[in-house]
Structure 1
Amino acid sequence: MFMPDTCCTLVPYFEIQDGQLDAFKALALKLVAKTRTEPGCMHYAFSFSGNVAHCREGYVDAAALLAHRENVAELLDEALKIARIIRFEVHAPEAEIDKLRGPMAARNPQFFALEEGIRRSSKA
C-alpha cells in the first residue's frame, strides 16, 4: 500500500574542530537519545569520516521536523561550539518545503523539492 509522501529529510554535514571529535561524538549520542522520544522521527543517526560528521535524519512531515529542532536546540547549540555546518540540505515535497522556508532561513539550507516517488505504509 502506498501513501502520500510528506517525508522531510535533513542532510547536515558538520566539520568538527581539531581535537573535538570525542566531544562531538558524545553530543551525538545525547542528540540520538533525545530524538528517540519524538513520534514524528522516522530515522536519526550520525556517521563519521575523519573530522566530518553527517546526521542522517528523516521526519514524517514539516511539523515533525520543526518539533525536532525545538527538542534538540540546546544540544545543537553545544555541538555548534565545536563544529560548523559545511553543507545543509532539506529534501521534501514542495508543500512541506513551503512550511520550512521561514523557520529555517537562518541556517540557509539548500532545498531540494521531491517530485514523483513512492512511500510505502508501514503496514504493507
Structure 2
Amino acid sequence: MSTHAKAVTIHPYFQIHAGKIEDFVANMTDFTNQTATEEGCLYYNFTLNGDEAFCREAYTDGDAALAHLANVDAQIKRALELSTMTRLEIHGPAEELEKMRGPLAGLNPAWFVYQTGLTK
C-alpha cells in the first residue's frame, strides 16, 4: 500500500484585496516558513493568478492536515485580513475527511471523497 493512501489535500482560493498583493505575498512566505516545521506535510506551495492566490498543499492524513491548520492559525487570520477566501475544497479518503468535518464545519468547505485512481 502506498504511503499516500490516506493523503488529504486542502485547496483554498483567495481573492486578494486591492493594494494588498505585496502584503499577501509576504504572508505566503510566513505560511511556508511555519509549515516547514511539520512532519506530516507532503507538499506546500502558493500560486498566483493576478490578484487571486491558491495554496497547493497535501498532508499524510486528516490528523496531519488538522495539525497544520492549528500550526498556521496566525497566518490564516492574516490572510483573511488581506483577502477573501472564495472557495475551500478538501480532498481525501472518506475516513480521513470524517476527522475534519467537525473542526472545519464553520468554513463550509466542499468535501471531495476519493473514489478511484492510482497512488504511487
TM-score by length of 2: 0.96
Residue type of the partner of 1:21?
I
Equivalents in 2 of 1:85, 1:55: separation in Å?
Answer: 11
Give the aligned partner of residue 21 of structure 1: 21
Residue type of the alignment partner of 1:103: P
1:63-82 matched pairs, under 5 angstroms: 63-82=63-82
Contact 1:5/1:118, CA 8 A, preserved across alignment: no
Deviation at 1:89, TM superposition (A): 0.3
Stretches of structure 2 that go unaligned for 5 or more consecutive residues are none
Alignment of 1:1-124 (within 5 A): 2-3=2-3, 5-120=5-120
| Distance of aligned partners of 1:114 and 1:18 in 2 relative to their CA distance in 1, 3 Å threshold | same
Structure 1: 5+ residue runs without aligned partners? none
Q: Distance in 1 between matches of 2:3 and 2:89?
A: 24
Q: Distance in 1 between matches of 2:22 and 2:46?
A: 13
> When the two structures are aligned, how many residues end up with a matched partner?
120
Q: Is the 8 A contact 1:3 1:118 kept in 2?
A: no
Instruction: Report the CA distance between 1:79 and its aligned residue.
Output: 1.1
RMSD: 1.2
SS of corresponding position for 1:5: coil
More helix per residue: 1 or 2? Answer: 2
Q: Using structure 1 for the length normalisation, give the TM-score.
A: 0.93
Q: Percent identity?
A: 38
**CA separation of 1:119 and 1:50: change in aligned 2, threshold 3 A:** same
* Matched residue SS, 1:80: helix
